[in-house]
């Protein structure tokens, strides 16, 4: 899962198609974990998963998404090639230190504002 997310989070690999046999369960898990990285709420993540996996949503898939630890992915993200998605590169960018994240807000004029979380 970490490797697949790293491929998705590197804009040099774009465009990219995410698909599995029926485009529901494995695809849903990958997209659900991506949504966690994008800081979607759990409710929104599971709503999207159920919408596209119905009528055969799997509780184990949802449990996998819920328990997936994003920190190993965050530790390996190449911040210079993040996609220009609103929740990834349009505002704050995460740079790899999952236990002490450094958020960098780069405004339109190029000024940077950094803070630790």
Catalytic (active-site) positions: 20
Residues 35, 63 contacting (CB under 8 angstroms): no
Six-digit token string for 22: 């029926």
* Spatial distance between the Cα atoms of 18 and 46, rounded to a whole number of angstroms: 18
Element (H, E) at 61: helix 59-67
* Spatial distance between the Cα atoms of 90 and 105, rounded to a whole number of angstroms: 9
Residues 14, 88 contacting (CB under 8 angstroms): no
């Amino acid at each position: 899962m970490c490797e697949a997310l790293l491929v998705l989070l590197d804009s040099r690999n774009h465009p990219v198609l995410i698909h599995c046999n029926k485009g529901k369960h494995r695809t849903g898990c990958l997209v659900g974990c991506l949504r966690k990285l994008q800081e979607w709420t759990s409710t929104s993540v599971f709503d999207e998963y159920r919408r596209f996996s119905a009528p055969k949503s799997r509780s184990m898939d949802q449990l996998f998404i819920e328990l997936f630890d994003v920190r190993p992915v965050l530790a390996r993200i190449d911040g210079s090639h993040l996609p220009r998605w609103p929740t990834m590169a349009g505002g704050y960018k995460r740079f790899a230190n999952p236990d002490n994240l450094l958020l960098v807000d780069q405004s339109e004029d190029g000024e940077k504002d950094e803070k630790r979380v």
